[in-house]
Structure 1
C-alpha cells in the first residue's frame, strides 16, 4: 500500500491561498461610489472651483504662457557697434578714434566724456599724493625708505619733501612724476556728445527651430545713412543718439557725463514662431546698471596712458577718463506648437479639476449638518456580525 503524501504546513497553505487571492483581485475592476447631494450652496462651491481652475488653465497656462508650445530661451547672438561724431573740449577737437574705448565695436564699449590728464610724466622722484595713506610727513623720520604702498605711486626714498602746492609735505617716491593729483588738467568732452550716433547691429539665431533674424532692414537705397531709430516708423534702423539712450534710461546727461556711468541697452527677441517671421521683432529698453546711489562705487572711470619720446627719454600723458559705458544685452525666447507639452498640460488641467471634488468632499464630511449620514452613505463599513463570521472562518482554515 502506497504511503500517503504528506500535507504542506498550515502556514504554507495560507500563503498559497493569499497569493491566489491577490492574483484574483488583481483582475478586479474598482469604481468609486457616486452620491448625489441636493445642496445648492455646496454645488455652487463645486462649480465655482471648477470654473476657476478651468479659467486658470485656459487663460493663463494656454493663452498667456503658451504652454502648448515647445520653447527655447537664450538665442545665439552677435553684436557689432559703431559710433560716429566729433566733439570739442577746452583745448582740442576729439574724434571717434580718441573718445571710444575699445575701438573694436563690440557689445561693451565706453564713450569718454571727461578726462583728467597729467602730461609730461617721466620716471624720476617726486612728492607722493596726499590721498595715499600715511603719505604726509613733517621730517625724514616719518618716511621709511624702500616702503611700497600698493595704493601709492611708487617706492619711497625716505625723504620728506614739499608738496606741489601749499605748505604741506609728503614722502618722496620713485616713479612716474609728477603724480596724478599734483599736475592733472581736467577737460570736458560732453558738450556735443548727446548728438553722437551709435549703430547697434544685432543678429540672433534659435538653433532648435532653425530660425534667424537681424535688426536691420534689408534695403539698398542708403536707408541707414539718413535714418535714426523710432519705435514705430523706424524699428529696423538701429541707430541711436547717445542723448536719446541716456534720456530713455531716466538720467541727466550733464551729470552722467561728469561722473560717468553704465547704461544697458537691452534687446529682447520674444518670438511666436507659429506666426509669420515678420511678427518676430526686437524690443529695446534702456536702464542704468551701475549703483549710482552708493557714493563709494558710483560713476565710471578708467585710466590709460599715451607714451612718446622727448630728447630720447620716455615720457607719457596719464589720462583718467570718465565716460558712459554702453552694455548691449540680448535675450529672448522663441516658442512653437508641439504635441507633447500640449498633451501634458491638458492632462494636468483635467486632473486639477478633481480638486473641486476633494474640497467639496471635505466640506461635506466635516461641516455639513448631516455629515455622519453622508459619511455612512459614502463609505461602506462591514457590520460587527460580518466581521465575527469572517474571523471565525479564517481561524477555521488555519
Structure 2
C-alpha cells in the first residue's frame, strides 16, 4: 500500500524529471539560437572587432569637411574622396568595357542606404589592386552598411532601395572573397524577387555577379527563377527575330545544344552592341546571355560525360571572352580571370578523353589557346597537322562551323 510519503516522493521525482526535460529543451533552443547567431556573425563579420569599436573607427576615419560631391549622401572626408576618385578613374572605365550592361556607380552612391556598401566594394577592389590598407576600410564600411540596413529594415517599404542596399553588400563581400556571406545576400535577393519582383536592370546585375562567382570558383549558380519568369524576361529578345531566323537551328549531334546555346549567346551580345535596339530588347538579350552561361556551368556539374564537360567549359569560356567578362585589365593586373580555374580542369578532361570527335577537340583546344596557354597551343598545332589542316584558312573555316552556323538568317526587328 502506497503511503502519503511515497506519493509525495514520486510526485517530486516526476516534477524533477519534467523540469529537467523542460530545461534540456530550453537549452537546445538556446543552442540553436546561439549557433544561428554565430553563423550570422561568421558571415557578416569578417573582421573580429566589437561593433562599438567599428563604429568609432568609422566615425573617426570618415568624418571630415572636404566635400568633393555635394550631391552624395556621404560624409565629406578625404578617404571617401579617394575612394570615389579611384572608382571614377579606374574601376568604372575598366568594367564599362563589358558588353553586359550594368548600373552606374551613381545608382548606389546617391542613396544613403546603399552608399556605404558600395564604398566597401570600391575599397575591396582598391585593396586587390595596390593599396592593401584599403581592405581595412572595406571591413569598416561593410559594418556601417550592415548597421544602417538593420536599423531601417523594419521600416523599409521600398523594395528597389532595399534590394540595391543588399546588392551593394553582396558586391562588397564578393570582392572580399567572402562568398559565403555574399550567398546569404543573394538568397535574400532571391526571396525578394520571388515575392515582389525586382527591376530588370537589378536582375541583370545580380545574375552577372552570380555568374562571375560561379565561373571564378567553378561552382553552380545560386540565384534561381521559375521557367515562366525566365521566359517572360527573355521574351522580347526571342520574339524580336523574324520568321526567317531560328534560334534552335544549327549544330546537331549529342552536344549540339551546347553549341546552339553558344551561338544564341553570341546573337544576344550582337543585339547589345546595336544602338538602334530598344532598351527592352537589350535588357532581354542580356538576361538571355547570362541565363545561358548559368545553364552551361550548371550542366558541367550535372553531367558525367567527359566530352560534355569539356565542351561546356570551353563554351562558357568562349562566351565570357566574347562578352568582355574575362581578364579585364585594372591597375596593371587582370580581374575576373576564370581561366585559372577553367583551363587546368579543361586540360585534365582532354587528357582523360581519347575517343572524342577530332573537330570538336580542335575547337576546344583553340578556345584554350585564347588564354595564351602553351599546352593548348601545342596540342592545337599538333592536332591540326594530324588532321591535314596546314592552311590557316582551312582551320578557321572548320572552327567557324562550330561558332557561327546558326547565325545566318537571324534578323532582328528593331522598329
Instruction: Answer yes or no: same fold by TM over 0.5.
Output: no
TM-score computed with the length of structure 2 as normaliser: 0.16
Structure with the larger helix share: 2
Larger radius of gyration: 1
RCO (CA 8 Å, sep 6+): is it higher in 1 or 2? 1
Q: TM-score of the superposition, structure 1-length normalised?
A: 0.17
